[in-house]
Every structure is written in C-alpha cells, then in structure tokens.
Amino acid sequence: MIKIGQSMHPNWINGDLNKLDEELRQFKDAGAQSCELVLQGLDVVIGARIIESRQDAIIKILRDYDFDYTMHMPHGLNLLDQENLEVFLKIFRVSIDFARAAGIKLLNYHAGRSRIDDKKKPDDKAATDESAKAVEDSANGVNENPNDEAKPDEEVAKPDPKTLIQNEIAQIKTLASNAPDIMFCMENAQFGTEPEISAGNDASGMIDYFKQVDQPNFKLTFDIGHSYLCHNGDGAATLEDMKQLLPYIGHIHLHDNCGFKSDARDFGGQRLVTGAGDIHLPLGWGSLPVEDALALLKDYDGIVNLEIEQRFSAYYSECIALVRENLR
Ligand SMILES: [Zn+2]
C-alpha cells in the first residue's frame, strides 16, 4: 500500500520543537500519512552524539501523530568525502540508534559525490550553489577535530572514482547488515552543473550499487524531481529511468521544478522567478510530468514523500490529493 508523506523543513524548524509540532500538525491536516524528518534541524545529534534529553522531547512529539516516519540524513553527509568519512559514518551509526528509539523505519541518504578532477585542494570550498553550501556547512560542523584541518597549500591525490564508490558500497553494506530492522535508501541527488563522480548520477550506476550492496534492507530512493533536472527537463528520460529503477525502488521523493539545471544562488526567492534549479515546487507549478510518473507506480508498495518547500505549505493538501487521485 502506498502512503503519502511530506518532508519537514530543517531550516524553518531550526531546533525549535514547537515548530516541529506545528509542521507535523500541518502535514496531518493536509492529509499526509507519513513524515520525513531531516536530521539537521532537530538538534538531536550534536558532534556525532545523541543528546538524550532532545531525543526524549522529540519522541514525545512524534508519538502524538499516527505517521510512518522516515528520516533524511544531513544533505552534506557524503560518503565519498574521504576527509570526513569517519565522522559521517559515526553520524550514520548514531542515526540508527535515534531511528530505533523514535520508531523511524527508513534512513534516506544522498549518493556520495566528488568533483571530477585529478587533484583536490582541501580548501576548495568556494562553491556557491545551495547544495554545495550544505556540504560546506556540514564539513565545517565536523571539522572541529584539529586533525581534520585543511592545509591550504597541499594538494591531495584522490583515489580513482571506481575505488571511491566501492568503498562507499562497502560502508553501506556494513551499516545495513548491522541494522536489519532499518531500511537504507540511497537517493539520486545529482542536479548541479558541475560534473561529479557519483553512483547516483544515472540509473545504471544506481542499479549497479544496489546489486553490490546486496542487503534485504537496502533499496533506492528515486527523487523524480532530481532526475528531471539531471535530464535537463527531458520528461521522457525521467520516466524511462523510473521504469528501469522500479524493481529496486523502496522510497519516492516528489516535487516539481522547471527542468532547468542551475547552480544559481537564491537571493530571496529569485530562483523561483527564473525557475532555476532544484526549487521543490508544488506539483503542477513546474513542468515535471507528474501524472505520467504516478501512473508508473501502480505496483509500488512504499511511501511517496512530497518534498515541497515550506513557503508553499498552503498547497500541501492539494498536492497530496493530486497524488492520491492519480494512484487510484
Ligand atoms: Zn529528495
């Protein structure tokens, strides 16, 4: 049976649990049956450790709602980032503990990514798009370990792409096999204009990754909006990917955009005006073939999680109704 959910907004909640409660109530009133929490924003894992009092307070709120809960790992968590890998793995492990305590059944994470270049400058963090900013924020957050300090003048040779991805697969396999009660889902998240190495770049890379992780509690998240951006607004290509990936998909992310790949900065909503990038619109506001995509989900058994920006909260209920109508 398909359940329809909506993601919380970490930047809006920003640690305020009254706002978490307010969002959950909004989602419930809009007709959602599940909710995707986002680890950052809850302030429950700090310095890769659980703060028990926060965990207790969050669980108390979550129990007031009859949702299926899933959780998005921090957007900056990147298992191809060799410099921060240990702390990212630690965050993954404590997130499993938090998930168990809070009754969260599924952890979603973005496929690791790494710039395509032979050498990497450790201080090269001058990227300007939002996703790169998230990576940077996360890296800054974990860089308090003095051993991790960037050395500006040195260049570090990077392992080859295949080895990096093989390492990522091995790490996920270990995490998943040690937590058979939690579903792990790797999401396609490549939509910037910079070429990057990532198993989430295309359907064949994702299927290959799935087969190599080879755990009963590992599946793929297909973010339909990300795929549409990846294909520069080619809806047929997104539907083709979706058909190919369906046997391996355990989770769906759905939001609209204009199929216009961009690293442009937002400047207070400007990207909405131009329609540039990963703008998480209400369904039907962009050009994603929403109904054709939903028509492919007749045999899907899982959650269709809407990731619509908080500024469009007035439209949650009509988006949920549209999904429900098209899944009938
Ligand atoms: Zn997503």
What the block records as the tokens of 308 is 């619509």
18-74: pLDDT as tens digits: 999 999 999 999 999 999 999 999 999 999 999 999 999 999 999 999 999 999 999
For residue 25, the tally of other CB atoms under 10 A from its CB is 12
Helices (H) and strands (E) in the chain, counts: 12, 14
Q: Comparing 151 with 175, which gets the higher pLDDT?
A: 175
How far is the centre of ligand 1, averaged over its atoms, from the C-alpha of 146 (Å)? 33
User: What does the pLDDT read at residue 158?
Assistant: 65
How far is the centre of ligand 1, averaged over its atoms, from the C-alpha of 154 (Å)? 35
Residue 178 pLDDT > 90? yes
C-alpha dihedral sign at 73, 75, 81, 83: negative
DSSP alpha helices (H): ranges in the chain?
10-13, 17-30, 52-62, 85-102, 130-142, 161-178, 203-213, 224-230, 235-245, 270-274, 290-295, 316-327
156 φ, ψ (degrees, to nearest 5): -110, 125
CATH number at residue 16: 3.20.20.150
How far is the centre of ligand 1, averaged over its atoms, from the C-alpha of 65 (Å)? 23
Confidence of residue 109 (pLDDT cuts 50, 70, 90): very high
The total of structural domains in the chain comes to: 1
Residue 130 pLDDT > 80? no
Q: What contacts 231, CB < 8 A, 6 or more positions away?
A: 237, 238, 241, 259
What the block records as the tokens of 304 is 């269709």
How far is the centre of ligand 1, averaged over its atoms, from the C-alpha of 307 (Å)? 7
Please answer whether residues 69 and 104 qualify as being in contact, where contact means their C-beta atoms are separated by less than 8 angstroms.
yes
Confidence of residue 195 (pLDDT cuts 50, 70, 90): confident
Whole-angstrom distance, CA of residue 182 vs CA of residue 106: 6
275-317: pLDDT as tens digits: 999 999 999 999 999 999 999 998 999 999 999 999 999 999 9
Tokens 């307010």: give the residue: 22
Count CA atoms closer than 13 A to 188's CA, side-chain side: 31
What the block records as the tokens of 100 is 């168990």
| pTM across the whole model | 0.87
Q: Comparing 240 with 148, which gets the higher pLDDT?
A: 240
How far is the centre of ligand 1, averaged over its atoms, from the C-alpha of 255 (Å)? 8
Q: What contacts 141, CB < 8 A, 6 or more positions away?
A: 76
How far is the centre of ligand 1, averaged over its atoms, from the C-alpha of 253 (Å)? 5
User: What does the pLDDT read at residue 121?
Assistant: 45
Please answer whether residues 235 and 256 qualify as being in contact, where contact means their C-beta atoms are separated by less than 8 angstroms.
no
How far is the centre of ligand 1, averaged over its atoms, from the C-alpha of 224 (Å)? 8
How far is the centre of ligand 1, averaged over its atoms, from the C-alpha of 199 (Å)? 15
How far is the centre of ligand 1, averaged over its atoms, from the C-alpha of 153 (Å)? 36
Whole-angstrom distance, CA of residue 87 vs CA of residue 85: 6
* Residue 263: domain span: 3-327
